[in-house]
Amino acid sequence: MKISFKSQSDADIQAFIIDENGALPSAAAELDEISGGLLTEALAVERFSGKLGQHAIVVMPKSAEARRVVLMGGGKSKDRGTLAHERIGAELVRGQAMSGFKSLAITVEDTEGAAAVAAGAKLAAYRFDTYFTKLKAEQKPSVKTLTVVTEDDKGAKAAFKSADAETDGTCLARDLMNEPPNVLYPESFAARAKELEKHGLEVEILGEKEMEKLGMGGLLGVGQGSIRESKLAVMKWMGGKAGDDPVCLVGKGVCFDTGGISLKPGAAMQDMKGDMGGAAAVTGTMLALAKRKAKANVIGLIGLVENMPDGNAIRPGDILTSMSGQTIEVQNTDAEGRLVLCDVLWYAQEQYAPKAIVNLATLTGAIIISLGHENAGLFSNDDDLAEALTAAGKTSGETVWRLPLGEAYDGLLKSKFADMRNIGGRAAGSITAAQFLKRFIKEGQAWAHLDIAGVAWREGKKDATDPSWPSGFGPRLLSQWIADKYED
């Protein structure tokens, strides 16, 4: 769907935002008149109050140029911020994309609102059709263009720039997660990361040989049961001041998680192709930063492996030596994400002395029990960082909720045979996973861990901005945080 901003439009479908319990906006007056008052009548229908999420469709008489008018509930105008505008754009696309008409327009009063409507529309228009070979024309969207009609169309276009970049990041993260695991595996994921060089990023790929030299026994241990070579991709965007310490973003990229020898049950195992959601989020963020030319130094590092059962796979009882030198008794090969992250986190600190590290991972099923699909779990050793991420979550709509860390939880990681074990027991599973990661964070290093297992893909009724299997959670949150905190 091509999105543009204009001061008027002759699209087939014309949409307008209606204030809750409000009158028809003046921009719709002419269409109301042509139709002999059909729009006013639609507003008078008892159950249409203009609440956010409601809409009414009016079929126009032949004499009118527009074929349909859609009245979009806008809620109370004083509450209509960025997220409400996004929702309106998304609901409009969800409702009309398959309508059979080709062009769609919506009139939006304020400039920032117009940009947000466009962002919501773009998120809702996302599709991943790559592997359908038999789609008929009527199974594909008919709407090809969306015109956001607004007085200051140039201003709206400028305001859309960064949201456009960020939603490109979201869509890339979705694409990566949607790809099947026979197509997207460590090497091919690394190649996708490498492609970002055309957007001005510098991308470096480490293979198993290099990682062995570095002593990454955790990451390599997870990957050793797979016929696919493990990779570490490092994506650099240095748009800030030269010499300024970077921010590091670290992603869990388990391209498929069978559980390994501690094999997962079969039901829904196919979802574990999404266990690279953290890496997808980091990759999407790097694209967003490059596209909007962020004035910050940011390095994305993704640990790419496949966790398979095999004659060469790690066993429960094996002891791995991480790059940090700390040893880990593997008690459950399905607690693999932390084994990957511990080495990538250590590498990031050794290599780049970052001013902050944020890692993202579909780390624990337990976080779904704690927070459901509404918030990512946030763990941090730094209150300012935690608050900044929480605030960026509220602004971007990708919300996070902080959970505690603490000594007592850390004690649950004690092993009889090594410096630690890789599980903490049934209780507080997400917290003990976070405690494990914290053991690989140096003294004084600001760090946050986002457990995105509940939000990377969602069950149940979903928002119109989230139309695919994966949500693409991450790029909008991280880009917002970087903009708030590191750019002026």
List, by residue number, the catalytic residues.
Answer: 264, 338
Comparing CB distances to ligand BES, the nearer of 67 and 264 is 264
| Radius of gyration over every alpha carbon of the chain, rounded to an integer in angstroms | 24
Laid out side by side, the sheet with 319-321 consists of 319-321, 327-329, 420-421
Which C-beta is closer to Mn ion: that of 336 or that of 466?
336
Residue range at the interface with Mn ion (CB under 5 A); choices 71-79, 117-125, 138-146, 250-258:
250-258
257 binding Mn ion? (CB under 5 A): yes
475 scored as a contact of Zn ion (CB under 5 A): no
Cβ-based nearer residue to ligand BES, 11 or 261: 261
Question: What SS3 class is residue 145?
Answer: strand
- The window from 60-68, 150-158, 186-194, 256-264 that contacts Mn ion (CB under 5 A) reads 256-264
Q: Counting contacts by CB under 5 A, is residue 260 touching Zn ion? A: no
Encoded tokens for 152: 């200051």
Q: Min. distance of Cβ 440 from Mn ion in angstroms?
A: 18
In whole angstroms, what is the distance from residue 458 CA to residue 468 CA? 10
Tell me the residue type at 281: A
> Exposure of 135 by Cβ count < 10 A (0-12 exposed, 13-18 middle, 19+ buried)?
exposed
Nearer to ligand BES, 71 or 423 (CB): 423
Based on CB atoms, which residue is closest to Zn ion, 103 or 307?
307
Contacts of residue 371, defined as CB under 8 A and 6 or more positions apart, other chains included, come to 377, 401, 454
Shortest Cβ 457–ligand BES spacing (Å): 8
- Could you give the CA distance from residue 31 to residue 13 in angstroms, rounded to a whole number? 12
Which residues contribute to the site for ligand BES (CB under 6 A)?
257, 275, 332, 334-337, 362, 364-366, 423, 429, 453
CB distance 18 to 43 below 8 Å:
yes
112 binds, among ligand BES, Zn ion, Mn ion, none (CB under 5 to 8 A by kind): none
Subset of 259-318 contacting Mn ion (CB under 5 A):
none
Q: Which of Mn ion, Zn ion, ligand BES, none is residue 380 near (CB under 5 to 8 Å by kind)? A: none
Q: Helix, strand, coil: what percent of the chain each, to 5?
A: 40, 20, 40
DSSP secondary-structure letter at 452?
-
Q: Does 410 bind Mn ion (CB under 5 A)?
A: no
* Ranges within 273-332 binding Zn ion (CB under 5 A): 275
Stretch that binds Mn ion, among 24-32, 225-233, 249-257, 457-465 (CB under 5 A): 249-257
Count of other CB atoms within 10 angstroms of residue 418: 17
Total residues in contact with Mn ion, by rule CB under 5 A:
3
337 binds Zn ion (CB under 5 A): yes
For residue 230, the minimal CB distance to Zn ion (Å) is 14
Of 370, 336, 356, 329, residue with least CA distance to 441: 356
Picked from Mn ion, ligand BES, Zn ion, none, the partner binding residue 483 (CB below 5 to 8 A depending on kind) is none
Please select the residue that binds Zn ion; options are 179, 257, 343, 410, rule is CB under 5 A: 257
Name all contacts of 221-224 with Cβ < 8 Å and 24+ positions apart. Answer: 221/314, 221/318, 221/320, 221/330, 221/339, 222/254, 222/260, 222/305, 222/307, 222/314, 222/333, 222/336, 222/339, 222/340, 223/186, 223/305, 223/306, 223/307, 224/310, 224/312, 224/313, 224/314
> Given the complex with ligand BES, which of 146 and 400 has the nearer CB atom?
400
Interface ranges with Mn ion (CB under 5 A): 257, 334, 336
Interface ranges with Zn ion (CB under 5 A): 254, 257, 275, 337
